[in-house]
Structure 1
């Protein structure tokens, strides 16, 4: 077993050397990747900073001459990611550990994000007590706050670094005693307001012998599903909840980015897509909503979450975008429309019920979808049991035709 440690050996050699010694004392090999740019390493690396810079597309001398810290961090991150990926492919990386401040946190987590889900990834960082989304993204990276700066060894830093080192050792040397069945895997997307639909569809699919993974459509959830499709972990998609596109279009806080809905289309795997929660854009507390949205229709979901109803104009644009995404699919694809409401809040009598806005969404989808996408319309709301089963059964039909069924 081998753990890769990514660090700036020109400034953190003592601390990284201590982590290496703790790991090696447990009988686990260590590979040190030096990403320090400005000085000579305090301890000997296995992969030098010059090699990392070259893997990142430039030379260490060039980075030193330019003196641009931001560019250096970007280049060394890309280089470390390339080297970590190669080591993993060669069977020389079973876990990865990073130690540092904001610079090495950026570099080391860039390398971590290049590795598949399931590879142990542990980052000890001065940044771990704040917003970690830029470092973690949609990946299984564990972050530990260093409490004090990683500058010298003392009773506190030794304890924190030892805990991190031993945590990585535990992850790479122990196999979980769990049963893993080789079953076709379906990815589903869910929001609180589409939960009954997803629960019904998931139960039906599991009864047919599929494994299911449900992703919370909070931006990172959608990105995580797209990544796992790219990695070949997911064999089919029941994309009930495409709400992240509303945040991407309008400016909410839960966008999954403009690549959302690309992965399944490009991979050619079976997919059934619906319009779950496209009636809403997500913000934080009510006083955090940008002033440009004054006068809009809001629903306070809880003190931390404020929802804003999408307009007819926004829904028309969402329909055009989603149609364009699905038209690019290279595999069997269906679009399922729940004509009586796209979320719990969108049904008659609820706060976001807006037939005009829904009609704009559905009309735009009908007008822009190609004949290659199967269109399913149901005179129910999205959480109706029959709608959930219709989508699940259609996906199962596609999976069987593609030879991907259990």
Structure 2
């Protein structure tokens, strides 16, 4: 029988969670109710499959009864424990939770720990606002509770039943991604590197399922999430621009773990300098005061680009090189000497050979070359068809090595 985990704090949301569990069982799935309450770890909750103490055992701090006197610390620790608990289970075919801001923050990290494609539904009082901190780079479905998750009423019964039936439907009718027998590869793209990525995709799509990710911070995280989840055979990371926003302060940053999935998995990796000439901000009036005197370019009414300086490019090149040095699998990093984006070319607003050279030199200086790890300059623009061909040939090379 397909199994769905129902997770939440039964001390405050018990009736709602049990209602979810019963709806899921009526839909034809096995439902396991996991209580992650932190009010009293020694108390055994009735009509619950997994007690709070069992989850708490996955985090050493929660073994100290003094720690749970501070609710904020206890919730954070229980959230970490839940992540470890969920990862330890081999029968999680779907997961659902319900709660307010605290319960949402507690349960969401465990959902994010599951692979892409595993059904995840979270009924929350905060689901009509900014859900990015909860969803992250994963496929969590968030449903606004409308009323507070505080008892069953004519509204909450309908909303919770819809959520329960949605997760049950996903579990019972799951589509197998493996039906496409082509290996999946991930590619990163921005508007200013689109010609390059499209050319690479055209060359490879007959043999590979090409998954293109928009390099907007979350896009890069999703790219690496799939690599960590074992759903990618390799990565062609054309557009590493999120590093600029991370180091300089733009609105589309990566995290400190950028390139980490390839370091952990050893998957074949081909990368380039796509859009490392720019930092992203919102509308022109939102650009921070300290950057107003910089070279700015209005990409569209909602996006303003700022040209990276030589000093910033040096720092960006060093950071990328240091991260790639951690990769154990085959790595090829290609440098397009004639420009890293559509607007980094002679006559274009971000053409700056000095800044580009600072970037390229930092990459070459920092990245430690080995038989598996190489950095190569090409006297081409990133959107030149011949550069795409070079990416493809290096991709084929790292696949052979792998």
TM-score range, shorter chain: over 0.9
Aligned-partner Cα distance in 2 for 1:247–1:232: 27
Q: Which moved more, 1:172-181 or 1:262-271?
A: 172-181
Structure 1 stretches of 4+ moved >6 Å: none
The answer on 1:399 being equivalent to 2:399 is: yes
CA distance in 2, matches of 1:332, 1:114: 26
Equivalent residue in structure 1 for 2:88, among 63, 86, 90: 86
Matches within 5 A, 1:162-311: 162-176=161-175, 180-207=179-206, 209-311=207-309
Q: 1:336 aligns with which of 322, 328, 334?
A: 334
Query: SS of the counterpart of 2:213?
Result: strand
CA distance in 2, matches of 1:262, 1:307: 27
Q: CA 1:318/1:127 → structure 2, altered by over 3 Å: closer, same or farther?
A: same
Between stretches 133-142 and 296-305, larger displacement belongs to 296-305
2:39/2:68 contact within 8 Å kept: no
Is the 2:18–2:33 Cα contact (8 Å) retained in structure 1? no
Give unpaired runs (5+ residues) of structure 2. Answer: none
For residue 280 of structure 1, report the CA deviation from its aligned partner. 0.6
SS across alignment from 2:327: coil
Q: Does 1:55 align with 2:53?
A: no
**RMSD of Structure 2 on Structure 1 (CA):** 2.0
Question: How many angstroms apart in 2 are the aligned matches of 1:371 and 1:258?
Answer: 23
Q: Distance in 2 between matches of 1:32 and 1:235?
A: 35
- Write out aligned runs for 1:371-390 (5 A): 371-372=369-370, 373-390=373-390
| Matched-pair contact (CA < 8 Å) for 2:316–2:359 | yes
How big is the shift at 1:191? 0.9
Structure 2 match to 1:102: 101
Contact 1:322 1:365 in 2 (8 A): yes
Query: Structure 1, residues 75-132: CA drift from partner, whole Å, max 9, x if none?
Result: 1112222222222x1x2x2110010001110111121112111110000001111111
Paired with 1:176 and 1:267, the residues of 2 have a C-alpha distance of 25
Counterpart CA distance in 1 for 2:156 and 2:180 is 42
Q: Which residue pairs with 1:76 in the alignment? A: 78
1:189/1:216 contact within 8 Å kept: yes
Map residues 290-369 of structure 1 onto 2, 5 A cutoff.
290-369=288-367
In structure 1, distance between residues paired with 2:64 and 2:247: 43
**Is the 8 Å Cα contact of residues 62 and 78 (structure 2) preserved in structure 1?**
no
Residues 233, 49 of structure 1: alpha-carbon distance in 2 compared, 3 angstrom cutoff: same
Q: Which runs of 5+ in 1 are unaligned?
A: none
**Bigger CA drift: 66-75 or 249-258?**
66-75
Residue 177 of structure 1, CA deviation: 8.0
What does 1:134-149 correspond to in 2, within 5 Å?
Answer: 134-149=133-148
* More deviation, 374-383/276-285: 374-383
Structure 1 pair 72–177 and aligned structure 2 pair: CA distance change class (3 A): closer
Between the two proteins, the alignment pairs up a number of residues equal to 397
Residue 20 to residue 368, structure 1, CA distance change in 2 (3 Å) = closer
Deviation for aligned residue 1:267: 2.6
Tell me: CA distance 1:337–1:121, structure 2 relative to 1, closer, same or farther (3 Å).
same
Q: 1:295 to 1:116 in 2, by over 3 A?
A: same
User: C-alpha displacement at 1:182, in angstroms?
Assistant: 3.2
**Do 1:13 and 1:43's aligned partners in 2 also have CA atoms closer than 8 Å?**
no
CA distance in 1, matches of 2:395, 2:220: 19
For residues 31-46 of structure 1, the aligned pairs below 5 Å read 31-38=32-39, 43-46=46-49
Give the whole-Å Cα distance in 2 for the aligned partners of 1:295 and 1:17.
Answer: 58
Q: How big is each residue's C-alpha offset from its partner over 1:151-173, in whole Å with a ceiling of 9 and x where there is no partner?
A: 12111111111110110110011
SS class of match (2:399):
helix
Instruction: Tell me the distance in 1 between the aligned counterparts of 2:322 and 2:82.
Output: 36
SS of the residue corresponding to residue 143 of structure 1 reads strand
Is 1:7 aligned with 2:5? no
